[in-house]
């Protein structure tokens, strides 16, 4: 007989199971609440787009587009009027899609700045390691409009910090930089290229290749043997035009105004081509090499580049949810939540009826309740309740029914009380609030 094939998740993808998924929900819910408080609305985007959209925006020579995208040819369904085959890609990021949607829906006619957030999976064929996956998740936000005030950049960062504080992610560091604009950056890139050409022999193969394709990316190198050479390269701050210099100084002042600590990092150039001026990243503890939990910046020319109206500015970020969860876990801040509020153990058919009625009432009041489908001995029921990580157990047997009182046991402390039905809900809710 042929052996049955067993399937496993594809390399770089994984299943997120309970109870960890409860932590994911808590983190995503916090983002929704914090972002709504800053006036952002959710945008739900497709998971695949035309490959060209990413080539145009993220950049054809970036690692993301040139090596890491999952692309496929989408043949038209025969006998339909669909256009010819197109090359599509699973989205490696969502800023491009947000700009595409902004243009497609004429959002420049909406009042004020358009503030959008998204939550969902992204796909990059990277080498999987701790904190790096091929299907990973981002929580991102973008602001699009005609204004490019540095106060907006700072407010975006303020919102991020408020989110990290809300979920209890401590020990984060904010790194900031300005990478100039189309006026001043070309001169810097040329100066960098010339300086790199002189030290080419001291660089590895990747950096050597990047001298021609994208010299800024050399600054990203983490190779220990390249660090001394990179430290002596020209710095963008010395090449910024007056307008960019003023913008960067005002951004820093706006951060200070908000009491946000930061570190300037002249090597923070980011791996996507669309950035102008402000770039930033946030690192968190407990993550090893992949310690960036968030990256973002300004992309003032992108909407126009994608065929939209001129003069639309943009700024945003994306948080790597996988890494945020990992950091919470590694720093002991992912408190294990009780999987269950109440386990109702019953004995006898009269008790089952009461248990079912009780459970319905408690669930209606928002508690999570488990009622075993078959009668079990109380000792075994308590054992199961423990293993299910229940907070409380309600015991209903003939004795309880006769007395008109239920036995309620708190599993962590072993504390036991007898209660009439009218007092039960308040007692269980109080126990839940105490944690």
Q: Which residue has the tokens 């996507």?
A: 272
Q: Which residues contact 356 (CB under 8 A, 6 or more apart)?
A: 371
Q: How far is the CB of 98 from ligand HAM (least distance, A)?
A: 8
Q: How far is the CB of 404 from ligand HAM (least distance, A)?
A: 56
Decide: is 295 part of the binding site for ligand HAM (CB under 6 A): yes
Mapped onto helix, strand or coil, the DSSP state of residue 375 is coil
Q: Which of residues 83-102 bind ligand HAM (CB under 6 A)?
A: 93, 95
Q: How far is the CB of 29 from ligand HAM (least distance, A)?
A: 19
Decide: is 114 part of the binding site for ligand HAM (CB under 6 A): no
- Of 252, 246, 250, 284, nearest in space to 265 by CA: 252
Any bridge partners for residue 175, and if so which? 263, 281
Site string for ligand HAM, 316-345 (x = CB under 6 A): xxx-x-xx----------------------
Query: Of the listed pieces 128-136, 363-371, 374-382, 386-394, which binds ligand HAM according to CB under 6 A?
Result: 128-136
Q: Which of residues 253-282 bind ligand HAM (CB under 6 A)?
A: 271-272
Site size toward ligand HAM, by CB under 6 A: 25
Query: Of the listed pieces 1-9, 131-139, 183-191, 344-352, which binds ligand HAM according to CB under 6 A?
Result: 131-139
Q: How far is the CB of 300 from ligand HAM (least distance, A)?
A: 11
Decide: is 145 part of the binding site for ligand HAM (CB under 6 A): no
Decide: is 313 part of the binding site for ligand HAM (CB under 6 A): no
Q: Which residues contact 355 (CB under 8 A, 6 or more apart)?
A: 344, 346, 371, 394, 396
How far is Cα 429 from Cα 124, in angstroms, rounded to an integer? 44
Q: Alpha carbon of 279 to those of 173, 174, 294, 424: distances in Å?
A: 14, 11, 11, 55
Decide: is 132 part of the binding site for ligand HAM (CB under 6 A): yes
How far is Cα 35 from Cα 37, in angstroms, rounded to an integer? 5
Query: Of the listed pieces 188-196, 245-253, 295-303, 338-346, which binds ligand HAM according to CB under 6 A?
Result: 295-303
Q: Are 177 and 268 in contact (CB under 8 A)?
A: yes
Q: How far is the CB of 53 from ligand HAM (least distance, A)?
A: 13
| Nearer Cβ to ligand HAM (162/384) | 162
User: What DSSP string describes 253-287?
Assistant: HHHHHTT---EE-TT---S-TT-EEEEEEEE-TT-
Q: Are 128 and 289 in contact (CB under 8 A)?
A: no
Q: Which of 124, 210, 247, 277 binds ligand HAM (CB under 6 A)?
A: 124
* Phi-psi domain of 278 (left: phi exceeds 0; alpha: psi -120 through 50; beta: other): beta
Q: Which of 136, 164, 188, 248 binds ligand HAM (CB under 6 A)?
A: 136
Q: Which of residues 374-433 bind ligand HAM (CB under 6 A)?
A: none
Report residue 326 as tokens: 């990992």
Instruction: Give contact residues for ligand HAM (rule: CB under 6 A).
Output: 93, 95, 124, 126, 131-133, 136, 138, 140, 142, 271-272, 292-297, 316-318, 320, 322-323
């Amino acid at each position: 007989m042929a052996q049955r094939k067993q399937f496993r998740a594809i390399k770089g993808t994984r299943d997120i199971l309970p109870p960890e998924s409860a932590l994911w929900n808590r983190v995503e819910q916090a983002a929704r609440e914090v972002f709504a408080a800053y006036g952002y609305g959710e945008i739900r985007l497709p998971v695949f787009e035309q490959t060209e959209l990413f080539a145009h925006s993220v950049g054809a020579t970036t690692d993301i587009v040139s090596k890491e995208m999952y692309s496929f040819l989408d043949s038209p369904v025969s006998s339909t009027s669909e256009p010819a085959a197109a090359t599509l890609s699973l989205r490696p990021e969502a800023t491009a899609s947000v700009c595409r949607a902004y243009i497609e829906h004429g959002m420049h006619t909406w009042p004020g700045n358009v503030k959008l957030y998204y939550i969902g999976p992204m796909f990059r064929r990277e080498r999987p390691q701790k904190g790096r996956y091929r299907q990973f998740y981002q929580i991102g936000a973008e602001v699009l409009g005609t204004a490019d005030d540095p106060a907006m950049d700072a407010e975006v960062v303020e919102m991020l910090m408020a989110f990290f504080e809300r979920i209890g992610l401590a020990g984060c560091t904010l790194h900031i930089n300005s990478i100039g604009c189309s006026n001043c950056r070309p001169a810097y890139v040329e100066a960098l290229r010339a300086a790199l050409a002189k030290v080419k022999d001291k660089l590895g193969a990747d950096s050597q290749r990047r001298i021609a394709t994208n010299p800024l990316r050399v600054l990203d190198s983490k190779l220990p043997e390249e660090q001394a050479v990179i430290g002596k390269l020209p710095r963008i701050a010395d090449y910024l035009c007056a307008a960019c210099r003023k913008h960067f100084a005002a951004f820093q002042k706006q951060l200070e105004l908000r009491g946000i600590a930061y570190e300037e990092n002249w090597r923070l150039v980011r791996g996507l081509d669309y950035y102008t001026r402000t770039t930033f990243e946030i690192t968190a503890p407990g993550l090893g090499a992949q310690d960036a939990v968030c990256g973002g910046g300004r992309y003032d020319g992108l909407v126009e580049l994608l065929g939209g109206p001129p003069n639309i500015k943009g700024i945003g970020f994306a948080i790597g949810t996988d890494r945020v969860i990992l950091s919470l876990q590694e720093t002991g801040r992912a408190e294990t939540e009780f999987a269950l509020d109440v386990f109702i153990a019953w004995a006898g058919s009269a008790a089952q009826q009461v248990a079912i009625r009780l459970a319905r009432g408690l669930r209606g009041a928002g508690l999570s309740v488990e009622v075993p489908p078959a009668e079990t001995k109380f000792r075994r029921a308590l054992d199961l309740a423990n293993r299910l990580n229940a907070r409380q157990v309600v015991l209903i047997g003939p004795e309880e029914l006769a007395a008109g009182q239920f036995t309620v046991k708190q599993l962590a402390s072993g504390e036991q009380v007898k209660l009439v039905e009218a007092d039960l809900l308040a007692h269980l809710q109080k126990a839940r609030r105490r944690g």
